[in-house]
Every structure is written in structure tokens, then in C-alpha cells.
Homo-oligomer: A and B are copies of this chain.
Amino acid sequence: MKHVAAAVALMTVSAATLAHSTTSPNGVRTLSPQGAIKVEGTWSLGVRAGDFVFVAGMQGVDPATNKLVPDPEGRVRQAFLNIKTIAQSEGATLKDCVRLTIYVNDLKTVVPLVEKVQAELWGGPPYPPRTMFEAKRLFDDDIIEIDSVFYSPVKK
């Protein structure tokens, strides 16, 4: 009976592990951390490959409702927090970000929000290298989408 219980426990763990990550032929591991937004479509939230963590373009979607945060500043903050959740699940802090590419609908109104939110979330310099410009249109006619890469060396 104990053996059965152990086997069931093992299967449950394996299933949970499978649900949360899968690994490619070359060792690219797909990430699906708790608390992250829901994915719909042919993409994933992020992957680990070697010492780097690549995160999908993140919008200001509230993981609790899977809807965009209504106010602009809150939405910008939420986009960064969604990134943070994924990076953190692989042992990276915002300070370990190596690259931010930020697509906005309007530089004049969104850049001040980005600067404010980054100062708040990073708590001061140094900040990551960044590229930011206006796209013609983002998904959902959104105001911001942020693409990012993190460094988190594999523990040896």
C-alpha cells in the first residue's frame, strides 16, 4: 500500500513538473511559473537556455483576471511585474536583466510612466540597457509591451 502511495505521489510530482516545464532536444526549458499570466496561442512565457532566461513580450495583464490593468501607470507597472515573476522563478532579480526592448504606442505619454515605474521597481541605478520606440500598433491596441532577457547562471 505504501508502495502504491509512493508511486502515486511520484506520478503526481512528475505530472506537476511536466505541466510546469518541458525541455527541448538541446535543453531549452519552457517556463510556466505560478502567479504568471495565462498564455493563449502559439507562444510561451519564457525559457531558460544555459545561463540566460528569455521572457516573452509582456503587457500589463493582471494575472488575477487575465485582463489589462485599466490605468496607464498601473498597466506599465504590471508589465514589469509580470516579467519579474518569470525572471524570479529562475533565480533572477530585475537587477539581473541584461536587455529591455520596450514598444510603446506613444513616447510622450508612456516614457514618463516607464521612468517612474523603473525607478520604483529597481530602487535606483544601475538599470539595464534599454531600447524604446513607438510601434505602429501593439496587441489589443495596448500602450506598452516589454521584451526582456535575464542572466542567471546555472548553479554548478
Q: Which of B26, B45, B115 contacts A91 (CB 8 A)?
A: B26
User: Chain A residues in contact with chain B, CB under 8 A?
Assistant: 22, 24-28, 30, 41-47, 49-52, 54-57, 91-93, 95-101, 103, 107, 114-115, 118-119, 122, 125-139, 145, 147, 149-153
A115–B54 CA distance with the chains assembled, in angstroms: 20
Q: Name A99's closest neighbour in chain B (CB-CB).
A: B54
User: Inside 8 A of A150's CB, which chain B residues have their CB?
Assistant: 26
Is A133 touching B145 in the complex (CB atoms < 8 A)? Answer: yes
A132–B131 CA distance with the chains assembled, in angstroms: 14
| Known A42-B122, A98-B28: A134·B133 in contact at CB below 8 Å | no
A122–B100 CA distance with the chains assembled, in angstroms: 26
* Closest CB in chain B relative to A49 CB, distance in Å: 4
Q: Name A135's closest neighbour in chain B (CB-CB).
A: B133
Is A47 touching B128 in the complex (CB atoms < 8 A)? Answer: yes
| Known A42-B122, A133-B137, A145-B133: A153·B26 in contact at CB below 8 Å | yes
Q: Which of B24, B96, B114, B134 contacts A93 (CB 8 A)?
A: B24
Q: Name A32's closest neighbour in chain B (CB-CB).
A: B126
| Known A134-B135, A136-B134: A127·B26 in contact at CB below 8 Å | no
| Known A95-B28, A133-B138: A114·B152 in contact at CB below 8 Å | no
